[in-house]
Amino acid sequence: MYKLIINANSREKRFALVKNGEVEKLYIEQPDQQSLVGNIYLGTVEKVIPGMNAAFVNFGEEISGFLQKDKLASYILSDDENKTNRSISSYVHQGEKFLVQVEKDASGTKGARLTGVIELQGENLIYMPQGKYIAVSKKADSPEVRNKWKDFASQVKTPEEGLIFRTESLNQTEETIMHELEEQRRRYAQMKKTISTMKKSGIVHTRDYFFEQAVTALLSFANGEVITDCLDFKKSMERHITEGIEIKLYNGKDHIFSFYKIEQEIERLLKRIVWLEKGAYMVIDQGEALTMIDVNTGKFSGKTDLRDTIMKTNMNAAVEAARQIRLRDLAGIILIDFIDMKADSERSKVLKLIQNELTQDERRTRVIGFTELGILQLTRKKTKQSLAETLTEKCWTCGGTGQVLSTESVAYTLERALWEYKHSDYEEIHVAATNEVIHTFSGEADIHKLRLEKALGFTIKFSVSDAGKPFYEILKVRASTEHG
């Protein structure tokens, strides 16, 4: 039984796809993290750089976008057999205005990557007004199905147009597809009309990525229910509801994610330790360059022998690791350190299992295999921030390392700092420190503090700091000539 639970009545929008009580997919979109990918703009060419075969385009955002020659509609539509050798200057000039679409968001000082080949997303089709291209979903069952839709496209599209048939289109009628194509053509004509009145670069069409993702999740199951806390969102989703699926408006007292226990799942997904069956566990450490998953047997001991325990733990971990990668939206290089397996046949079983589990992942993954040290390597394409990057920030105390100097280290550092005042003419030094540092520095009955005061020749006075980590700060030194 599937449930698609949608929290859309607040600025942070979220949905969870639940299968038989277990979260299968989680998507969260915050206002300040909304992607521009898919948005369409009127762009103005600021500079053409023949040496890079690219142009910089002002499209109304803070940083200009980057557009390569092979992403220009004029280049795609050209019938020149030698066009790959021609300069970008043959296809675009400074000051030229045309529609552009964001392919990749800006990052740091790098502007967004743009394309002049516009793609309009539909339920069954991706329509490219100037794409000059036909493609059918790779999930088409047979060459016959693929050829059927390619032949249909050749008959209905203009020479300039491009059509990509999505997986959802494969079981549709030609009349349904034709109706959607005409609708997409009308959308594009309206965009052209809009930009004819625009005096400067700016947004023409904003892609509702959250809604698209929710619809994609809905189309992944045939029986179940959709529950949302937003009436407007319910109305928008209703036209995508098919037989076998019920849609409901949630009006309960508790928050919708709390009621369906999704909040607890999110909390678990932000923790390092993931518990497996019978006391085994995984530790997930997410870094900037790669993610490391370490598998441990913990308290789990198999019914027969150690080898049996290791194999069962690794098989359980393979299934859960694939799920965690998907739910946490981990990307880049991912290394999984399974418990050491002696036989190649055992490693092969684990490898096949995780490959099978990752087929459920809509993101492109590549399982490379085991290293000589027995660590499984895989990569996953990054298209947006991971769950941890979306919901958390670096700890101001530890700077994201997960570690701070110990109370003892800080206390001994304070002691060394005070020794530097030994030959100065001071009568008293005031120090702010956390309770633990004061206690460690001073010792039982202030034995260490008194010894140090005697050696240094001045009094040490403490005030308590409520800093969130072991801490000290020398606030004031008072010379022997000072009063008050």
Instruction: Please say if the pLDDT value at position 157 is more than 60.
Output: yes
What share of the chain has pLDDT > 90, as a percent?
73
SS3 state of residue 408? helix
How, if at all, do strands 332-337 and 290-296 pair? parallel
**For position 393, what pLDDT does the model report?**
84
Average pLDDT over every residue of 315-335: 95
| pLDDT tens by residue, 62-92 | 999 999 999 999 999 999 999 999 999 999 9
**For position 13, what pLDDT does the model report?**
94
Q: Predicted confidence band at 484 (pLDDT cuts at 50, 70, 90)?
A: very low
Q: Predicted confidence band at 300 (pLDDT cuts at 50, 70, 90)?
A: low
| 285-293 long-range contacts, CB within 8 A, separation 24+ | 286/328, 286/330, 286/386, 286/388, 289/332, 289/333, 290/332, 290/333, 290/334, 290/335, 291/330, 291/332, 291/333, 291/334, 291/335, 292/335, 292/337, 293/317, 293/321, 293/324, 293/334, 293/335, 293/336, 293/337
Distance CA 389, CA 401 (A): 15
| pLDDT tens by residue, 103-130 | 988 877 889 999 999 999 988 899 999 9
Please name each of the domains of the chain with its CATH number. 2-34+207-263 (3.30.420.40), 40-205 (2.40.50.140), 271-391 (no CATH), 407-479 (3.40.1260.20)
**For position 306, what pLDDT does the model report?**
80
Average pLDDT over every residue of 210-215: 92
Q: Residue 38 in contact with residue 207, Cβ under 8 Å?
A: yes
Q: Residue 17 in contact with residue 6, Cβ under 8 Å?
A: no
Indicate the DSSP class of residue 110: B
| pLDDT tens by residue, 350-382 | 999 999 999 888 888 999 999 988 999 999 988
Give the DSSP H/E element, type plus range, for residue 274: strand 273-275
Instruction: Please say if the pLDDT value at position 482 is more than 70.
Output: no
Stated pTM of the model:
0.73
Instruction: Please say if the pLDDT value at position 196 is more than 50.
Output: yes
**For position 277, what pLDDT does the model report?**
85
| pLDDT tens by residue, 128-145 | 999 998 999 887 778 888
- Among 102, 85, 96, smallest CA distance to 55 is for 96
**For position 323, what pLDDT does the model report?**
96
Distance CA 437, CA 406 (A): 9
Instruction: Please say if the pLDDT value at position 35 is more than 60.
Output: yes
Q: How many CA atoms lie within 13 A of 117 on its CB side?
A: 22
Answer with the residue of higher pLDDT: 277 or 464.
464
**For position 303, what pLDDT does the model report?**
53
Q: How many helices (H) and strands (E) does the chain have?
A: 13, 24
**For position 302, what pLDDT does the model report?**
53
Indicate the DSSP class of residue 417: H
**For position 93, what pLDDT does the model report?**
96
Instruction: Please say if the pLDDT value at position 34 is more than 90.
Output: no
SS3 state of residue 248? strand
| pLDDT tens by residue, 243-294 | 999 999 999 999 999 999 999 999 999 999 999 988 899 999 998 779 999 9
